[in-house]
Amino acid sequence: MRSFRRACAAGLALGLLSGSGPARADSIARYDCTIVGTMGLEPIGDRPGHMLVSFQYSCVGTDGLMKGATYTANVASEWENQKGTYLYGAGIHRSPDGYAVAVLTEGKGSVQMKDGAPAISEAAGKVVFRLASGRFAALAGRTVNFTARLVGPGHLVYELTD
């Protein structure tokens, strides 16, 4: 059960969480993120390996339109062993010259184990910008793709692309 919880934690840490290669031309944002506080890992109890995972994370924009911005978000997902489905997620992108609110519309996650520990954890899906102003105004109403990859304990890279 402990390995499963670690796997879920790693997969969810992606929550919303990009590949670690160079930014692509269609990149809107790349963020360096840290999980804030304790990740909630709750066995649902109806069958082995079925779990609810939730956490908060905080990020700093490292590339793209969101470079220099901060992003704070919350996410929750349901896991069946090493496969997860995101149930909700929302976050706020902030900079001195703009705001944007993104809401998860769909997302899936996975964890691959090696020697009882998460070796690869990633997530992908879509978010919609419900509000965008200032330098982010062009994002208002747009749906974009997200990817996330766990790059260390409690540390992930999150990317938004067209």
Place of tokens 């879920």: 8
**Which has more pLDDT, 120 or 107?**
107
Tally the C-alpha atoms within 13 A of residue 146's C-alpha that lie toward its C-beta. 31
135 has pLDDT over 50: yes
Using the predicted structure, report yes or no on whether residue 80 has a pLDDT greater than 60: yes
pLDDT of residue 117: 66
| Cα 15 from Cα 35, distance rounded (Å) | 10
- The owner of tokens 């208002």 is 140
The pTM is what?
Answer: 0.82
- Where exactly are the structural domains of the chain? 2-161
| Fold adopted by 2-161 | AOC barrel-like (2.40.350)
**Comparison of pLDDT for 6 and 133, the residue scoring more:** 133
Q: pLDDT (tens digit, 9 = 90+) per residue, 49-74?
A: 999 999 999 999 999 999 999 999 99
Cα dist. 2→6, 31, 57, 118 in Å? Answer: 6, 29, 22, 12
Pair of tokens at residue 160: 């938004």
